[in-house]
Amino acid sequence: MTRLRELGHDLIPLEEVRETILRHVDRLPAEEVPLLEAWDRVLAEDLAVKELIPPFDNSAMDGYAVRAGDLEGASPERPVTLRVRGRIQAGDPPGFQLSEAQLPQIGLPQIGHPQIGAAARIMTGAPIPQDADAVVPHELTRFTDTEVTFTAAAASGQNIRRAGGDMKPGEVPVGKGTRLRGPQLAVAAALGLARIKVSRRPRVAIISPGKELVWPGEPAGPGQIRNSNAYALAGLLREGGAAPEVGRIIEDSTHALRREFRRALEGGVDALLTTGGVSAGDYDFVQQVVREDGSPGYVFKAAMRPGKPQVFGVLGGKPLFGLPGNPASAIISFTVFVLPALRKMLGEEPVVPPVFPVRFTSDFSYRGGRTFLLRAAVEPDFEHPGGGFRVRSIGGQDSSFLSSLAAANALIQLPAGRDGVKAGEILPAWWIHPA
């Protein structure tokens, strides 16, 4: 059933457009992948700790494992010398004992003659002897192969990393919905997981209608321009966690659009993305196809600048994002609408990326009446007492300009009800990509 929301001339706040879109986007199923392939994927299950990490008490230093009690009162004037009873390397099994009784039970190399008041040479990460309670770094001692001399007392527990000090059973160090980067993969590895459940990467077809478009590397005839949007979107999709499938440049016709949509859907994509053909021009066929084939189909006039015309529909059960063709409008629309939709497909939390505060460093005027999405380069502001981020530079804001977008890293949201911002004002921004 085709259900069309013809929204007439009413401008709709971008938040409402986004909520409408998000209602029609579902989370993709999870899949299990080898840990090394899980980088940049979104975790589909909580990582649960089942054992103590680290699994055993171990040394934080290369030094000597001792009983703190044996070093009581040690000072440069009254040094304490202990026998070195063994050497414990990272990878040796726990169980070494400083005290005599247990010595024969373990197969570690024993040096010198057992006696009361002993130490063991120990390496970082090696298991602490059962009866030691401190480690003294070797650079604070004088030592030979058989003896070690201390000139200061030791505190019980010093330089010992306790079993479970990092993670304990029942804890969730990395939660469902987290994007996995190096440190999160390290947690999974430390927990012993060789495979991990992640959301399927959304496969997104990029289709480029426009008689004027040619690929880079091809000669551009009179009246032709390069298809830059396909590259912008391929990059942004990757950064958003999707797998872009760059499709064809096609003529401006409903026939060509339908053919490419069908081809992509038969190929199993999870979403369709077009740029251009959504305004009210004579060759703007994307909105016509969405009106006729979408179930539902929406043609929005979003109360934002740039990016007023927006088309969204569900085609063959998959979301179709019909972004405006102007390069800046396309990229900004992607950030505002498509990125949250991808995050929802991935189960990434929060679905809408959080805004952050940016301080203006000079006055800025803009056309009001619609939310103005200002592309700007922002930078950390250590000079301001409140910290945060400040505007570094603002390039040309024409919706066809690419250069200022390439120089920008943020999109600052300026209210529709005004037409200017004063130096010192703080407004919310999204990252296009982090500083």
Footprint of Mg ion (CB under 5 A): 210, 276
- Beta bridge partner(s), residue 206: 246, 273
By CB under 6 A, residue 240 contacts ligand AMP: no
By CB under 6 A, residue 281 contacts ligand AMP: yes
By CB under 6 A, residue 110 contacts ligand AMP: no
Burial class of residue 111, CB neighbours in 10 A (0-12, 13-18, 19+) = middle
- How far apart CA 273 and CA 323 sit, in angstroms, is 7
CB-nearer residue toward ligand AMP: 80 or 328: 328
How big is the site for ligand AMP, counted in residues (CB under 6 A)? 20
- The answer to whether the beta carbons of residues 337 and 321 sit under 8 Å apart is yes
Say which entry of Mg ion, ligand AMP, none residue 172 contacts (CB below 5 to 8 A, set by partner kind): none
Site mask, ligand AMP, residues 170-209, x = CB under 6 A? --------------------------------------x-
Say which entry of ligand AMP, Mg ion, none residue 313 contacts (CB below 5 to 8 A, set by partner kind): none
Say which entry of ligand AMP, Mg ion, none residue 379 contacts (CB below 5 to 8 A, set by partner kind): none
Instruction: For residue 223, give both structure tokens.
Output: 């009246």
- State the Rg of the chain over Cα: 31
* Amino acid identity at 143: F
Instruction: For residue 334, give both structure tokens.
Output: 């992607």
Helices 254-266 and 286-293 cross at an angle (nearest 10°) of: 60
By CB under 6 A, residue 254 contacts ligand AMP: no
Q: Which stretch binds ligand AMP (CB under 6 A): 169-177, 181-189, 277-285, 336-344?
A: 277-285
- How far apart CA 432 and CA 376 sit, in angstroms, is 10
By CB under 6 A, residue 277 contacts ligand AMP: yes
Residues 302-331 that bind ligand AMP (CB under 6 A): 324-327
By CB under 6 A, residue 228 contacts ligand AMP: yes
CB-nearer residue toward ligand AMP: 208 or 397: 208
- How far apart CA 398 and CA 63 sit, in angstroms, is 64
Burial class of residue 227, CB neighbours in 10 A (0-12, 13-18, 19+) = buried
**Beta-strand pair 80-88/118-122:** parallel
Binding site for ligand AMP (CB under 6 A): 208, 210, 212-213, 225, 227-230, 275-279, 281, 284, 324-327
